[in-house]
Amino acid sequence: MTKKKIYFIGSLLLITFIVTSYNVIQFFNERASFQYSDWLINYQAGFVRRGFVGEIFFQLSNILQFRLDILILVFVLILYMTFYLNFYSIIRKINIKLIDLFVILSPISFFYTAFEQKASGRKEIIFLSLFSLFILIIKKISPLSQIFLIILITTITALTHSGLIFYNVYFFALFVCYNLNLGLKKIFILLLPFIFSSLITLIFIMNNSTISSGELQTICKSIIEYLPNCGKGDYVTTLTWGLQNNFEGFKSLWLDANYIIFYFSAFILCFGVFLYVSNNSKLHNFNFLLIIIFCMVSTLPLYLIGADYGRYMYVSYLSSILIYYFLLSENIIKRKINFYSIKKIIIIPILVVYSFTFTIPLCCKTKLKFNYIKLID
């Protein structure tokens, strides 16, 4: 039965990859979307936040004499393929119970980008692909090598999108959980370089968080062939916004009681089963739920300076369940859950309704999005 569940999840991953790839290609064809223009940001006017990957491909395009947009598109699609393959490799190692299907197939899980089109093609796919890859190789390298690799990955992701620095906590949690046998004192000493590098990167990015209108024009000039309306409402324009601008611009959202209540309710709806499973799982003498709560609380600053609450939850959810199922597959986590015997004829329709009939809006709305309406349209 477990094999059938694995094949089912594998089939969904393949379908999700196809749909998400289609979404990404559409955004790249439009040449105006945030999903496209964000990848074009580069260092042609000096260092700017979010410019690392764009600069690499800008230089690569010049060296190879090949179109920049095609290079980036292929790169993004490879990232998605890498993540879905890594996700499958991690999940297939566990003995999947019925309750695990509700966790793995939460509306905010891996197929979120298939139903919420605007979540496709965003830069968090760099974090998710590298994080999942790190999980797969952590067993093969020493704790010291793990730390150096974590520093490398988190520096790359933070320079690609500054908001991703708040997800460094998932690397922190994974390292601690996997290496608990070393003792907390040795773990703390090993983590010090990672903590310092995260702080230095954060300070560096904050001190270079905005650019002038002249610098914006320089960047736009370098990519005008690929973004004809550069600087007119695309993601490149947001480089002129400072942290204070973001805070003031989105303050109305997190001061809106209806907005907060909706997304908190969505959080409970999408995370509820996983939180229950985590609460009934032990990591040595620790309740695993406390670790998950710590990670999620650490990402809260993002919700004060941005509006894409659906995206933020999506990244947190995937990072959390990847850690959980990896540790479960390694017998580091022990769980005690009553697996009640429920007839398939009852539970399968509930799972289908829960997983596939609705999704959480990426941002700025206080109503669930019903997927069947989109299919009818």
Q: Give the tens place of pLDDT for each residue, 332-365.
A: 999 887 655 566 667 888 999 999 999 999 988 8
How big is the CA angle at 362 (ends 73 and 41), to the nearest 5 degrees? Answer: 35
pLDDT more than 70, % of the chain: 94
User: How close are the terminal C-alpha atoms of the chain, in Å?
Assistant: 36
Instruction: Give the β-pairing of 281-283 and 286-287.
Output: antiparallel
Q: Evaluate whether 83 touches 129 at the Cβ level (below 8 Å).
A: yes
Q: Which two tokens stand for residue 148?
A: 């150096």
Which residues 6+ apart lie within 8 Å of 242 measured at CB?
209, 210
Q: Which residue has the tokens 């966790």?
A: 103
Q: Is the dihedral of CA 12, 14, 17, 20 positive or negative?
A: negative
Q: What is the pLDDT of residue 338?
A: 67
User: Is 46 in a helix, a strand, or coil?
Assistant: strand
Q: Within a 10 A sphere around the Cβ of 220, how many other Cβ atoms?
A: 21
Provide the pLDDT for residue 309: 93
Q: Both tokens of residue 374? A: 């989109």
Task: Please give the Cα distance from 72 to 41 (Å, whole number).
Answer: 12
Based on the structure, what is the number of domains in the chain? 1
pLDDT of residue 339: 57
**Structural domain harbouring 119:** 2-376
Q: Is the pTM of this model over 0.75?
A: yes
pLDDT tens for 244-266 read 777 776 777 778 888 899 999 99
